Structures are given as structure tokens and as C-alpha cells.
Chain A
């Protein structure tokens, strides 16, 4: 099992850290160049500000999503600028205030934004020291810096607040600044507590759901019964007369209602649902054979990896298996929400989107206005794990706000909206054959993968905003986009993380999207690692080899071996051979996106003999994501990934009929609850402060069940959603 995550660590700025090493060795330094998103946005004042009191503002185009990025970025700035964390104000993802860093996704925030802030802060510190040297008529080398104050021998000093008076920070990054090196870290590399946790745990208005600007009204949307339904009749008389109702929005097949009070809006929404009649067509694929229909859909096929002679070897022992997973949803606990204000021709949207700039462009397209007539400001929401309803709710708020100028409009989706209308993670099928040579090594590997896109996020066009499908302009549903390797979409981590002499990987990119799909945590990574690692266990068994030893034999990278060995050791892999009856163990390894973090996982599971229900009892992970800016942040993310992936693997499957999504609440789409939480989830971080690496994670375990939601065997005649979704073994 596995799930991707944004992890709080990043690739080192190669030049920056190499510089210290090279100086020590007395060699020449490589040419200086800005790193991360400092390349695209090279002015220091795009990232950092200092006011006359010495308060520092850090601007990042990445969004805090509960992954702790705000705290980790603060740590970078505080360390390199030599200021107290408490003097820093963080400004995140806003088209009005930060640069365009695209989506907060792909576990890339520390790489892109972290490296930029790191280098910008280091350069700014050098600039401030230079100014202090001028003011104090001394040489910069004689000055020391601490807590935002530059001090000369003898005690003469200038604070950052003094130094910025009458001076501009609008200067270009040169990439030449000396970074504070890891051995001298005071704030980075430490378990600095998350800045956003105390306010969230004491009731501060942290979430977009908590916004309550003066004059705000509450809105709810009435969706069609399915994607393709059309409105045939509508009687608005009753709805408009309900208490508190301010506006019924009816544009094409788009319906919404705004009221003074939130509960009034909900009552009116229910009435509006009753008042609308729809023509509903059968548009969803046959639920009974989702995998056969997936493989039968039009697809573009491409060999994405070929090594040696590819495929299985003649004369060797051949094994094969097929793995499957159904549609899986993001399932945010808080339904999507946004607040929008249309005033003086300008629309401002407060949103928990992962990409404020792409969203702005899409909303501007939907409203047929220039982009500068729209601003999108990210405010935290409930954890999203990819492209969920956030952007669509922002579009809803923007649309409804056009009818209520001057009044902030808050839209929150109902639970059935979130379950039924978010874009899901694609169903996937993998068929794999491998051959084992006489030496017990894999000598051939052939992997074929079927998946839809994982990328229908808003970019430029309103097509990617679901509400825009129903307004009179009728923006059509979007085309999916492919994401090139090594990052990949459905094919993320489809190429094994092992060193194999002969391998071939074929990706069948399935074009149709009968159910809405887009980015879900780790994209194809979860499933590909599930399939590959399950099959590695099957191969190890066939080779009469220990699964850990078998994996190590197929790894050459020392960092890969280190995480595998550490996870096995901390788990007590050898001792775990003697588990109680009904218990089993599993192991998995992956390097995320084949170039990012290394992760290995050992788990103990048990099977309930009566029900076939599998339970994850214990998990031990080892992760190496390079320079760990906040080790606890990494551990929390990996723990969360393990538990969420257990939920996907053991419980989850979107159910639907020929006409509609039927997984519309937590009873028809169950997820893991406390009774199934593992007794322990340990994460061991290998911190490599000077290693070029990077961010994210996901993990897998695998045993013989080859599809999710996974059970050892299905009870006979069971009619629950999980069992009905699995008509064949």
C-alpha cells in the first residue's frame, strides 16, 4: 500500500552547499546561478521583505495544505537570514502578493520555493552585512550577525530595521551567496513546532470555511443528478419566497441559491432540488467489469522504458500476475468551500486551491474577463491530497458573486457534493511477467499498465472548472493532460526502482473519462508500487529467497540499500518470521518518481478468519529525502501516508450505477476508522544534510491479494459496496 505526500525536505542547492565544501578543499567554485523558483523570479523582494521595525515577511507561492510547508519555509528564511522565527510573517500563495509558483503539488515545494527562499535569504543577509559595513565604516568580514542585528567589534551595531531605511531590496539574485552550512544550523534540521497547529487547535479562524467577512452571505449549489443531465423544468416561485433567500442563480443548467443565513441556504437548496426536473441519461460504464472496460477503451500506447532485450528471457522460469485498483476518492473531511467578492468589476476569490495562478486564469476564462480582473488568495482548507473540489467551489463562489455585487459569497459544498463531484483517482490495471534466472535474479521484466489521466487541474481554460460545464457558455469537460517522466502521471513509478538487466514497461494511456478523474496523491505511484512490490514478493517466494534479501540483490544505489536495511532492522524482520497464526509480514521499497526520496516499509498484518478483513497491525518505515529541514514534519507526513494508503487499500472503492455516483457519503464510501489504526507506525528518517536529493514519499506493502479494496477472501453473498465492487477474484 502506499500514498504520496509532500515531505518537508528538499534538494540541496548544489552550488550553495558545494561552495562550502570546495572552499574547504581550496578548489574553484562552479558558476553561480539562482536555484529553484528563484530562477524564474530572481528579485529578492519577490520573496522577502523587512520593515523599519525589523519584522521580516516571507512570500511563497506555495500553499500550506497541512503538510507543514509554511513552517519549513519559515525555518529556511530564519536560519539563512539569522533572525528569530517569531519576527517572521509568512505570506503564502496569492495572486495579489506572491509570485506564480504554479501548483503546490508533486512534493516539490522545498525544491522550488524552499531553495529560492534559502538562497534569497542568504544573499539578503550578505547585502545587509554590506550595508552595515558601509554605515559603520568597517569591513564586512569583521561583522557578526545574530537575531536580525549586525554587530562590529567593540559593540557598534545596526539592526535590520535600521539598515533597510531608505534602501531598496529590489535587487537580482546572483546565486552566489554563502549559505549557512548544515553543521551551524540553529533552526533548520530541527523539529520546529508547526506554526499553524496552536491556532487550529484553539478555534482561530484559520480555514477558508471559517471566513466571515462583513456582509457575507451563504450559498449552496444544486448539481444535476449526473454529469450529463439537462434541466427540463424549474419552478422557482417557492424557493424565492423562503426565509432569508437573496438570490436564486439559474444560468443554463447551473443552479445555486444564496441566503442571509447558512441554514436558510441549506433549506433553500433542498427546495431548489425539489423544484428542478432533469433529463438523465445512462452515461457511466458497466460497473460489473470496470477493468475489462478500462482495457477496452481507446488508448495511446507507449513503451516508456526498455533496457537490454526487454521482457522475459527464454529458458528462464516465468511468473505473471495482474493487479487492479478501482476509482478512489480524495474524500476531504471538510467539503470544498470558497468565498468570493465581486466589487467594482473585480472578483476576489478566497480558496483552498493548490494553484492560485492557474485557477485565476480559468476563472477569468469562465467569466470572460481579463486575468487582472480576478485575484485568487489561498486560505487553508481541509486536507485535499490533490485536485479535489477546491477549484470548482472557487468557481461556484465566483459565479454566484457576480449576481450579488458588493457582498462576499461563501459557498460550501454538502457532503454528497464532495463525494459525488470531486475528480477521482483513475482505476488502474497492471499486467506483469518476469523471469527468474538460475541464480535467483530477475532476468526479464515486462510490465503493462492501463490508466486514465491524473491531470485535469485548471490551467488556462474554464473547461477544467466543473461548474463551467453547466453555464450557458457550456465549457466542455476537459481533455486530460499527460505528465512527462520522470514525474509521470498514471505511469509515475511504473518503471521499477530496481536495477534489472532486461526490462520493458508499456503505458496504455486511456483517453476517455466516463467518471471525472484528476490528480490524487502520488498519482499512479500508489498503484504501480503496489503492483511492483506485490510481484517482488511473489518472485522472492518463487526464488525461495527472503523478500528483503531479494530486494537488496536487485539494488545498487547505497542510499536505496540503506533505507531497506534500516526498515528491516527497526522492524525486526528476521524475528518476524515467527508471527502468530493469521499474521503476516510484508516489505516494500521505492524511490519516488525514480529521482526523489527513498523509502522502505515493513508491515505486519493480520487476517480475520471469519470475515477475511485484513488489518494493518504495525508499520516501520525508513525514509531518506536528503536534507531534512523538519524531521518531525517528515515523520508526520509518512505516518499519514501509511494510514491513508491502508485505508485506500483495505476499504475504498467509488461505487456507481449506470446513471449516477452512488458513493455519496461515509456509509457508501467507508474509510479507515480508529478500530483499524495500526498499533504503531514508526518512521525513521535518514538525514543527509549535504546530499543532493529531494522530497516526497509513498510506500507499499504487498501480499497475494492483487486488487483493492483488499480482503483475504470475500464472505459469500455479502452485499456491501466493497464486495459488490469485486465480482471476480
Chain B
């Protein structure tokens, strides 16, 4: 049994320690934010933040996560009280199908934690691992720019 610390709460998780975090978040903890996109660390749809680093949750087994802080989309806010990045994405209408957006928000969250005033180049370089197929990128960049400086 492994104890995962997710969004400020401890969860005792049974099962194969090799299980990637993504499946435990989605199926055991019933958190929908992180999505399966490729299972290969190539698209970023599954991005969550561990301690302060963005990780591909499809690649990281739960065996290495005991005692570490996992933050998912659900940890940033709710539909009634969205967090600053979520608000900025909603204000920019920065979603078409929206499947990649939770991963985008989590990667941006990790950026703004370490650099509250990123340049446009900083944002593009940081967001490079995450794919969007709908072409929402310009609005995603707008939303991150808007949120920059508003996230402590």
C-alpha cells in the first residue's frame, strides 16, 4: 500500500506499485483532470504537478510518489470558485474540445509558481511539451499571459 498526498489530502492506494499515477488519479481517486493522451510522455494531456515540477502522470509510477505533494487540476479550484489560471482560461475562452486544457493549465501553474512574470518566449518554451490539436494555442498563450502576475 502506498500513501499518496493529492491536493492536500492523503490517500492510501492499493495495487501494483508500477501503476502510472494517471490511472490511480482517474480511477481510484476519481479525478478527471489528468487525461490519457499518449501514454508516452509526448503530449502532456496527463500533466500534473509533483512538488513544484510538472510531470507526465502517464509515465511516473506511484512507487516513487510516497510523501510527495501531487497537485491536479482539481486542486486549483472548482467550477464555482475557479483558481486564477482557470479564471484566465475561462475569460479567454481558451478551449475548443478542451481535452488538452487541464494539462496546459497544470504546466502553466508550475511555470507561474517559479516565474510570476514570464516573457512570451519563456511561456512558449515552457509549454513546448504539451500538444493541442484544435489550434487553441493563441488563446492558451493569452490566458497564461493574463494570469501571470496574478498567481502568487
Interface residues of A (CB under 8 A from B): 3, 65-68, 193-194, 196-207, 209-210, 212, 218, 243, 261-264, 266, 331-335, 380-383, 385, 412, 414-415, 632, 636-637, 639-644, 647, 665-667, 671-675, 677-678, 680-681
Shortest distance from the beta carbon of A613 to any chain B beta carbon, whole Å: 15
Question: Does B97 lie within 8 Å of A210, measured CB to CB?
Answer: no
Q: Is B9 an interface residue (CB 8 A)?
A: no
Contact partners of B134 in chain A: CB under 8 A? 66, 383, 640, 644
Contact for B45 among A200, A333, A636, A642, CB less than 8 A = A333
Shortest distance from the beta carbon of A386 to any chain B beta carbon, whole Å: 12
Shortest distance from the beta carbon of A210 to any chain B beta carbon, whole Å: 4
Contact partners of A643 in chain B: CB under 8 A? 135-138
Question: Does A666 lie within 8 Å of B43, measured CB to CB?
Answer: yes
Q: Is B20 an interface residue (CB 8 A)?
A: yes
Contact for B125 among A266, A640, A675, CB less than 8 A = A675
Question: Does A203 lie within 8 Å of B97, measured CB to CB?
Answer: no
Which listed segment binds A: B49-57, B63-71, B86-94?
B86-94
Question: Does A333 lie within 8 Å of B32, measured CB to CB?
Answer: no
Can you list 23 contacts pairing A with B, beta carbon distance less than 8 Å? Answer: A66-B99, A197-B89, A200-B95, A200-B98, A201-B82, A203-B32, A209-B35, A262-B26, A263-B16, A263-B20, A331-B133, A333-B43, A333-B133, A382-B97, A382-B99, A383-B97, A383-B133, A415-B37, A636-B96, A640-B135, A667-B42, A674-B124, A674-B141
Q: Give the interface size class of chain B.
A: 35 or more
Question: Does A65 lie within 8 Å of B97, measured CB to CB?
Answer: yes
Question: Does A212 lie within 8 Å of B128, measured CB to CB?
Answer: no
Main secondary structure of the interface of B (DSSP, over half): loop
Contact for B102 among A201, A415, A647, A677, CB less than 8 A = A201
Contact for B86 among A67, A202, A209, A675, CB less than 8 A = A202
Q: Is B6 an interface residue (CB 8 A)?
A: no
Question: Does B89 lie within 8 Å of A209, measured CB to CB?
Answer: no
**Given A205-B32, A334-B99, A677-B137, A199-B43 contact (CB < 8 Å):** no
Query: For residue A647, which residue of chain B has the nearest CB?
Result: B135
Shortest distance from the beta carbon of A629 to any chain B beta carbon, whole Å: 15
Q: Which 7 A-B pairs have the closest CB atoms?
A: A643-B135, A66-B97, A383-B97, A640-B135, A200-B98, A382-B99, A415-B38
Question: Does B97 lie within 8 Å of A380, measured CB to CB?
Answer: yes
Q: Is B60 an interface residue (CB 8 A)?
A: no
Contact partners of B40 in chain A: CB under 8 A? 415, 665-666
Q: Is B116 an interface residue (CB 8 A)?
A: no
Question: Does B23 lie within 8 Å of A263, measured CB to CB?
Answer: yes
Complex alpha-carbon distance, A263 and B78, angstroms: 28
Complex alpha-carbon distance, A362 and B26, angstroms: 31
Contact for A681 among B16, B37, B45, B138, CB less than 8 A = B138
Contact for A66 among B16, B27, B98, B102, CB less than 8 A = B98
Interface residues of B in 94-152 (CB under 8 A from A): 95-102, 105, 123-125, 127-128, 130-139, 141
Complex alpha-carbon distance, A675 and B130, angstroms: 11
Question: Does B36 lie within 8 Å of A671, measured CB to CB?
Answer: no
Question: Does A202 lie within 8 Å of B79, measured CB to CB?
Answer: yes
Complex alpha-carbon distance, A50 and B35, angstroms: 36
Question: Does B96 lie within 8 Å of A415, measured CB to CB?
Answer: no
Complex alpha-carbon distance, A382 and B35, angstroms: 10
Question: Does A210 lie within 8 Å of B93, measured CB to CB?
Answer: no
Contact partners of A3 in chain B: CB under 8 A? 135
Shortest distance from the beta carbon of B10 to any chain A beta carbon, whole Å: 19
- Further pairs besides A334-B35, A415-B37, A644-B134: 10, Cβ < 8 Å: A200-B101, A201-B82, A202-B74, A204-B79, A262-B23, A262-B27, A333-B43, A636-B93, A640-B136, A672-B137
Q: Is B2 an interface residue (CB 8 A)?
A: no
Query: For residue A337, which residue of chain B has the nearest CB?
Result: B36
Contact for B101 among A201, A262, A264, A414, CB less than 8 A = A201
Q: Is B73 an interface residue (CB 8 A)?
A: yes
Shortest distance from the beta carbon of B87 to any chain A beta carbon, whole Å: 9
Contact for B95 among A201, A264, A332, A681, CB less than 8 A = A201
Contact partners of B36 in chain A: CB under 8 A? 209, 334-335, 412
Complex alpha-carbon distance, A667 and B38, angstroms: 11
Shortest distance from the beta carbon of B123 to any chain A beta carbon, whole Å: 8
Complex alpha-carbon distance, A243 and B14, angstroms: 13
Shortest distance from the beta carbon of B93 to any chain A beta carbon, whole Å: 6
Complex alpha-carbon distance, A261 and B15, angstroms: 10
Query: For residue A334, which residue of chain B has the nearest CB?
Result: B99
Question: Does B38 lie within 8 Å of A385, measured CB to CB?
Answer: no
Question: Does A194 lie within 8 Å of B95, measured CB to CB?
Answer: yes
Question: B13-49 vs A: 1/0 string, CB under 8 Å?
Answer: 0011001100100110011110111111011010000
Complex alpha-carbon distance, A385 and B97, angstroms: 10
Contact partners of A200 in chain B: CB under 8 A? 95, 98, 101-102
**Given A261-B15, A334-B35, A666-B42, A198-B137 contact (CB < 8 Å):** no
